Amino acid sequence: MTMGEIMLRLSTPGNTRFVQSDAFDIVYGGGEANVAVSCANYGHDAYFVTKLPQHEIGQAAVNSLRKFGVKTDYIARGGDRVGIYYLETGASMRPSKVIYDRAHSAIAEADPADFDFDYIMRGADWFHWSGITPAISDKAALLVKLACEAAKRNNVTVSCDLNFRKKLWTKEKAQSVMKPLMQYVDVCIGNEEDAELCLGFKPQADVTGGKTDAAGYKGIFEAMAKEFGFKYVASTLRESFSATHNGWKAMIYNGQEFYESKRYDINPIIDRVGGGDSFSGGLIHGLLTKANQDEALEFAVAASALKHTIPGDVNMVSVAEVEALAGGDASGRVQR
């Protein structure tokens, strides 16, 4: 079960800039929706919870989920608009840019009466949300709290991708909302910026300079787990050499042991949007199906490395493809 906002993404073709483009490529996506697609691709019964307008654009968003096997039974219908975001894909030293047009979207103005969270959570194994959802409105933040409470009443594992978005709120507002919500979270996912801005924990790491030694994360993982009672803390470690060349690995802590994944050199990146979501989806699958946290993390990192090679928001890969990469096959040879 995931809950959040699915948006209409309008992206400039190729690497063109906003000011030079005469058309946009259209896909639908959003943090928790992307996670639901990943989980559906891995064979899980994945449900996405949101609110969308009754009109045709709202229906197109619903259809975009259904084509990947995501179940839409708990999507409320109503409201006036689907959130939009514009994406300009960067290259080399020019970064990608995102412009949001999502104020007053249907899910941002949804009411608790739109959802029966106890019914939704009954029988679920896992509930995932991200820090983007409570950032879009105070109403959405209340929905997250109510969903988490229902998840706990129904013994559902809860994961959260911290996902700080500076265009949606300040770090002060983020911490005032996110810290109280952590009491419901079993699996905390994020990166060094998310942990600092959402929860106030700063690792000793220079990501921009490429210095991402896992030792710099151990202390804050222990402190976060102690303060909030997390069963697992996981962090992606992205080395940004350019918009099209990143190093990619991750680390996980289960309260007793730390594990650092293998590192992937991703060059060239085709589309890095959704990279973190694909990691979350892979980690959820790994923790549900793998023998230990080490195997779960390797699956998640391989899955997210593959996502960087796929245009669009969602990760369209199978378990077999992810396991082949995690097992060492990164040759890219044609499969005949």
Q: Is residue 336 part of a domain?
A: no
From residue 196, give the alpha-carbon distance in Å to each of 175, 201, 229, 304.
Answer: 9, 4, 18, 22
Q: Is residue 334 part of a domain?
A: no
State the pLDDT at residue 329: 80
Rounded to the nearest angstrom, the gap between the alpha carbon of residue 162 and the centroid of all alpha carbons in its chain is 9
Q: Is residue 230 part of a domain?
A: yes
* Total domains, the chain: 1
State the pLDDT at residue 78: 98
CA distance 2 to 6: 11
State the pLDDT at residue 334: 74
**What CATH number does the domain containing 104 carry?**
3.40.1190.20
User: Residue 158's closest CA among 186, 180, 183?
Assistant: 186
From residue 86, give the alpha-carbon distance in Å to each of 8, 30, 98, 289.
Answer: 9, 12, 6, 36
Orientation angle between helical segments 293-307 and 275-289, nearest 10 degrees: 150
State the pLDDT at residue 202: 81
Cα dihedral sign for 217, 277, 328, 297? positive
Domain region containing 183: 2-326
Q: Is residue 38 part of a domain?
A: yes
State the pLDDT at residue 191: 85
Q: Is residue 333 part of a domain?
A: no
Radius of gyration of the chain (CA): 19
Q: Is residue 74 part of a domain?
A: yes
Q: Is residue 335 part of a domain?
A: no
State the pLDDT at residue 206: 59
Strands in 25-29's sheet, in edge-to-edge order, are 25-29, 7-11, 84-88, 97-101
State the pLDDT at residue 212: 57
Q: Mean pLDDT by 10-residue block, N- to C-terminus, for the chain (336 residues)?
A: 98 96 97 98 98 98 98 98 97 95 97 98 98 97 98 98 94 96 97 88 64 73 94 94 95 95 96 96 98 98 98 97 92 74
What residues have CB less than 8 Å from 69, skipping those under 6 apart? Answer: 40, 41, 46
Q: Is residue 332 part of a domain?
A: no
Judge whether 217 and 188 are in contact, CB under 8 Å. Answer: no
